Homo-oligomer: A and B are copies of this chain.
Amino acid sequence: MLNFTDKLRAAQAQTGSRLCIGLDPDMSKMPPKFRFITGLVDFNCAIIDATHDLACGYKLNWAFYEQYGIDGLRALERTLEHLHKTAPHLVTIADAKRGDIGNTSNAYAKAVFEAFACDAVTVAPYMGRDSVQPFLDYADKYTFVLALTSNQGSQDFQRLPLADGSPLYQHVIRTALTWTQHENVGFVVGATHPDDLATARMLAPTAAMLIPGVGAQGGDVAATLAANGDGMAIINASRAVLYASSGTDFAERAREVAMSLQKNLVLSESDLP
């Protein structure tokens, strides 16, 4: 089995793109005929079918499924089944932002990597090393630690200056890099902070960065690419692609937006293997 970074490099080379599409279903924004649980799966499958040659992977945010209880999680499972069948060469990211004491994080790691068979996960760093270690212990999988997120609330704690003057998020990056020998830790840095992305890239030159916040959240694509440089990066768009139209042409319009993003996120010659 390929490890995550090999799989990601191959997927990016094949599709020529660092675009990741976030499958975050929001019934209120979908065409009316999909606004029920199995409709949600059909909607996701239509998006996947329309875009899988343009994206290096898909990111599934657990919240958007959990909100519908068990039926929603069944929809998540069925979406992943379709992904694994249709595009097994693309990476799947469980955007779950988990983290708990060691024996509990063991169970979360088993959930996302085994029960739901995703290739990567997002985790929250607040509870420290033993809350992240169980994810890192899956050597072929990949763990993206939240560093500087794309939202307004990233100002509240992530940028707090520590006693040595550096902001918390930089300390998180420096510390988490020491937690694994498998080169399977990366970071979430929002596209809404290009200057900090450049700093994060300097601190972690070989880590993969998961970069949300282009599209609906307003992150600038060109500034993001410039800040990231040649490093391994996955640039996620969710709402901008999924809800490009709420009409019957939603899949075609999603493809158009994905294609436009893909063109802007094309790999440079030096990124290709």
Q: Residues of A with Cβ closer than 8 Å to B?
A: 24, 26, 61, 63-64, 66-70, 72-74, 77, 95, 97-105, 107-108, 110-111, 114-116, 124-132, 146, 149-158, 160-163, 165, 168, 171-172, 175, 217
- Candidates B63, B99, B160, B217; contact of A108 at CB < 8 Å: B63
30 contacts between A and B (CB under 8 A): A26-B103, A61-B104, A63-B100, A64-B104, A64-B107, A66-B108, A67-B114, A69-B111, A69-B115, A72-B115, A97-B99, A97-B124, A101-B151, A102-B153, A124-B126, A126-B126, A127-B149, A127-B153, A127-B154, A127-B158, A128-B151, A128-B154, A128-B155, A128-B158, A129-B152, A131-B151, A156-B175, A160-B162, A161-B163, A162-B163
Q: Which residues of B contact A110 (CB under 8 A)?
A: 67
**B residues less than 8 Å from A157 (CB atoms):** 125-126, 128, 168, 171-172, 175
Give the Cβ gap from A192 to chain B, nearest Cβ, in Å.
10
Contact assessment for B160 and A61 in the assembled complex, using a CB-CB cutoff below 8 Å = no
CA distance in complex: A72, B163 (Å)? 44
Q: Do B69 and A116 touch across chains, with their CB atoms under 8 A apart?
A: yes
Residues of B within 8 A of A172 (CB): 157
Contact (Cβ within 8 A) B108 A127: no
Task: Please name the residue on chain B nearest to A116 by beta carbon.
Answer: B69
- CB of B77 within 8 A of CB of A69, answer yes
Q: A70-B73, A108-B67, A156-B175 are in contact. Are A127 and B146 (CB under 8 A)?
A: yes
Q: Once bound together, how far apart are the Cα atoms of A17 and B149, in whole Å?
A: 40
Contact between B175 and A107, CB atoms less than 8 A apart: no
Q: Determine the distance from Cα of A165 to Cα of B110 in the docked complex, in whole angstroms.
A: 39
Chain B residue, CB-CB nearest to A102: B151
A107-B64, A116-B69, A162-B161 as given contacts; A130 in contact with B102, CB under 8 Å: no
A67-B110, A115-B69 known; A160-B152 Cβ under 8 A? no
CA distance A200 to B155 in the complex (A): 23
Inter-chain contact A115/B151, CB cutoff 8 Å: no
Q: Give Cα A26–Cα B171 distance, bound, in whole angstroms.
A: 34
A36 CA to B64 CA in the complex, in Å? Answer: 28
